[in-house]
Amino acid sequence: MQRYREIYERSLRDPEGFWGEAAEAIDWVRRWDRVLNADNAPFYRWFDGGQLNTCYNAVDRHVERGRGDQAAIIHDSPVTGSLRVLSYAELADEVRRFAGVLKRCGVGRGDRVIIYMPMVPEALIAMLGCARIGAIHSVVFGGFASNELAARIDDAEPRLVVTASCGIEPGRVVAYKPLLDGAIALARHKPEHCIILQRPQLRAELTAGRDLDWNEAMAAAEPADWVPVAATDPLYILYTSGTTGQPKGIVRDNGGHAVALHWTMKNIYNVDPGEVYWAASDVGWVVGHSYICYGPLLHGNTTIIYEGKPVGTPDAGAFWRVIAQHDVKVLFTAPTAFRAIKKEDPEGRLLGQYDLSRFRALFLAGERCDPDTLFWARERLGVPVIDHWWQTETGWAICADPIGIEMLPVKPGSPSVPMPGYDLHILDDEGRELGANQMGAIVIRTPLPPGCLPTLWNADERFVQAYLSRYPGYYLTGDAGHRDEDGYLFIMSRIDDVINVAGHRLSTGAIEEVLAGHPDVAECAVIGVADSLKGELPLGLVVLKAGVDRDGAVICEELVQKVRREIGPVAAFKLVAVVKRLPKTRSGKILRGTMKCIADGTEWKMPATIDDPAILDEIAETLRSLGYAGGRAAG
């Protein structure tokens, strides 16, 4: 670990020198006055005084330097049976014209644009078009409910919304235009224009005077050149759920974002310009922003936009087909995707149909990766499987195995070690530093490195209150865990998921790890439920692997005994049930908090990002069978 430690320690000792060198890989219109401006702490600013354009760095400069014929975007859509490849030169032409469309609609530097799109190349074209003219984009999941979209419209106050006529899900077409119309009707703020990409699967009725057809607008557009923006100007706003129910607008700046993401592509993911990198996510999530759009394109890679699922489009070999067909070198996805594949094809037989000999590494994030899933993937793929950890707020990995620097030993259950700039600490409730293997709150000493949020949109006070007030001088990640003697981090749960059983603090993640190690379990979730005697009790819900036909009651008893052996009687683990599926967000995060509210009979709100709301009814019925409330959503 010597090379890693030298780089990491230098980043903490000399952050300005470290990130100043990293910034040389980006083309600047004007160099910065200071790498780090700490005059207005805790509102730190990176590359203050510098000017650049993110779109130029992601598109134009590759064309100017002879890479125009290289594929920039591969759109692979098993749900529509289509494949489209855009070279960097073709992408540059499309982005210039869409920037011209925006300018013709009156959009300029600092204006906001909401992008409400499915997984199509036009989503990235719209993002880059905004960046080209200094507009601030805010991507909202295509198909989000009208009230959630309205909340984002009112907060961002966009001049324009970009959408498509529909999204395509396995077996169904989702009409977007009625959802958009409903959102605008609900919102106090009214966008001046909407641009609609008409898809052949469903055409939308346009509203006269407000709506423009994407293709017609592009045909009439005058291509627009890029404009310099300040490094500290916002590139985008990305909304994440807030504890108050009001979404938090995470702000990402232009300069620090470009520097950090470019650095990660080689140093963390170990890909070279020209190679194919695939983040199997959605543009509505931060992963889509960082590693479908900006990271790969800033670095000169080919990125894949995949409009499909890990299973069912058409089978559990879908990912292997994409890797083999497009010569993917590195895949980044969520552990839940691999749990789904493992559940459908436990032996990995479908892998035998594809040549993955040139595939180099699998990175997982979004949910804690249980060791069983990591071992399964590593054994069948024969490549390093790297669990890494980051957040919407940070925009890139807090902890990872930086295989472009050196391959570190993998410790199953750990996302490895902190990345440059992240000064990680474990604190107790009083803010005291904890030693090795002691569980506490995971925090990061400020300033955060480039690429992380400088604040929340129009909410500086809320930024401080949400992230910086509990431990002054530290950013609160909201996660709980410990570090071992080698500095490896183990994230055990959200701080709110550390349960207190008769005075003993237990991690739900530790119990999940034990359950996931059972040979019949595909995936699981553990929540803390209220108990009049012990305060809280752990309750486990497990999904079995495909083909398991053993008695569920027998399996549940085995799980109870397994937790008793491996964690001890102190866990008081007796509540466990088999379910067909677990409720998740569209990014694959299991909705533990919502299930806890249902179990405790407290008021809860239908999560806006839930993949399938009907699952919660099934969970409620299971909880009722265990003697818990199983209530429905408020309202």
Beta strands at 276-279 and 535-544: parallel, antiparallel or unpaired: unpaired
Asked whether residue 556 falls in the same domain as residue 472, the answer is: no
d(C-alpha 481, C-alpha 498), whole Å: 10
Q: Does some domain include residue 291? A: yes
d(C-alpha 66, C-alpha 55), whole Å: 17
Asked whether residue 115 falls in the same domain as residue 254, the answer is: yes
With a CB cutoff of 8 Å and minimum separation 6, the contacts of 121 are 73, 75, 84, 86, 94, 305
pLDDT given at position 632: 46
pLDDT given at position 566: 84
What b-and-e string marks burial along 546-567, b requiring 16 or more CB atoms within 10 Å of the CB? eebeeebeebbebbbebbbeeb
With a CB cutoff of 8 Å and minimum separation 6, the contacts of 513 are 370, 371, 413
Q: Does some domain include residue 374? A: no
Q: Does some domain include residue 496? A: no
pLDDT given at position 605: 78
pLDDT in tens, 68-91: 999 999 999 999 999 999 999 999
Instruction: Choose between 354 and 497: higher pLDDT.
Output: 354
pLDDT given at position 245: 56
- Please give the tally of structural domains in the chain: 2
Query: Among the three residues 448, 481, 514, which one is the final residue of a domain in this structure?
Result: 481
pLDDT at residue 151 tops 80: yes
For 356, list phi and psi in degrees, rounded to 5.
Answer: -110, 25
d(C-alpha 237, C-alpha 138), whole Å: 5
Q: What angle do CA 100, 86, 233 make, to 5 degrees?
A: 45
Asked whether residue 552 falls in the same domain as residue 468, the answer is: no
d(C-alpha 435, C-alpha 559), whole Å: 31
Report the range of poorest mean pLDDT among 92-96, 98-102, 120-124, 491-495: 491-495
Asked whether residue 153 falls in the same domain as residue 284, the answer is: yes
Asked whether residue 585 falls in the same domain as residue 449, the answer is: no
Asked whether residue 526 falls in the same domain as residue 457, the answer is: no
Q: What is the mean pLDDT of residues 280-304?
A: 96
Q: Are 421 and 449 in contact (CB under 8 A)?
A: yes
Q: Is 165 helix (H, G, I), strand (E, B) or coil?
A: coil
Asked whether residue 271 falls in the same domain as residue 394, the answer is: yes
Q: Is 521 helix (H, G, I), strand (E, B) or coil?
A: strand
Q: What angle do CA 439, 397, 460 make, to 5 degrees?
A: 85
Q: Does some domain include residue 146? A: yes
Per-residue pLDDT band for 502 (boundaries 50, 70, 90) equals low
Asked whether residue 440 falls in the same domain as residue 511, the answer is: no
Q: Does some domain include residue 358? A: no
Per-residue pLDDT band for 585 (boundaries 50, 70, 90) equals confident
Asked whether residue 229 falls in the same domain as residue 263, the answer is: yes
Q: Does some domain include residue 494? A: no
Asked whether residue 203 falls in the same domain as residue 282, the answer is: yes
Q: What is the CATH number of the domain that holds 465?
A: 3.40.50.12780
Q: What is the mean pLDDT of residues 491-502?
A: 72
- Owning domain of residue 574: 502-625
Q: In this structure, is the dihedral angle defined by the CA atoms of residues 150, 286, 168 and 547, taken in order, positive or negative?
A: negative
Q: What is the CATH number of the domain that holds 593?
A: 3.30.300.30
Tokens representing residue 215 in the block: 């293709």
d(C-alpha 571, C-alpha 514), whole Å: 12
d(C-alpha 146, C-alpha 184), whole Å: 8
Q: What is the residue-averaged pLDDT of the chain?
A: 93
pLDDT in tens, 198-250: 999 999 999 999 999 999 999 999 999 999 999 999 999 999 865 445 789 99
Percent of the chain with pLDDT over 90: 79
Asked whether residue 302 falls in the same domain as residue 426, the answer is: yes
Q: Does some domain include residue 426? A: yes
Q: Are 366 and 589 in contact (CB under 8 A)?
A: yes
**Of 29, 25, 4, which is closest to residue 450 (Cα–Cα)?**
25
pLDDT given at position 425: 98
Per-residue pLDDT band for 144 (boundaries 50, 70, 90) equals confident
Query: Among the three residues 414, 449, 481, which one is the final residue of a domain in this structure?
Result: 481
Asked whether residue 131 falls in the same domain as residue 258, the answer is: yes
Among all chains, which residue has been given the structure tokens 């004007």?
30
Query: Among the three residues 481, 514, 538, which one is the final residue of a domain in this structure?
Result: 481
DSSP 457: T
pLDDT in tens, 324-377: 999 999 999 998 899 899 999 999 999 999 999 999 999 999 877 888 899 999
Helix (H) or strand (E) holding 417: strand 417-418
Distance of CA 430 to the CA centre of its chain: 31
Percent of the chain with pLDDT over 70: 97
Can you give the pTM of this predicted structure? 0.85
pLDDT in tens, 422-461: 999 999 989 999 999 998 999 999 999 999 999 999 999 9
Burial (CB count within 10 angstroms: exposed 0-12, middle 13-18, buried 19+), residue 80? middle
**Of 167, 290, 295, 161, which is closest to residue 238 (Cα–Cα)?**
290
pLDDT given at position 633: 42
Q: Does some domain include residue 367? A: no
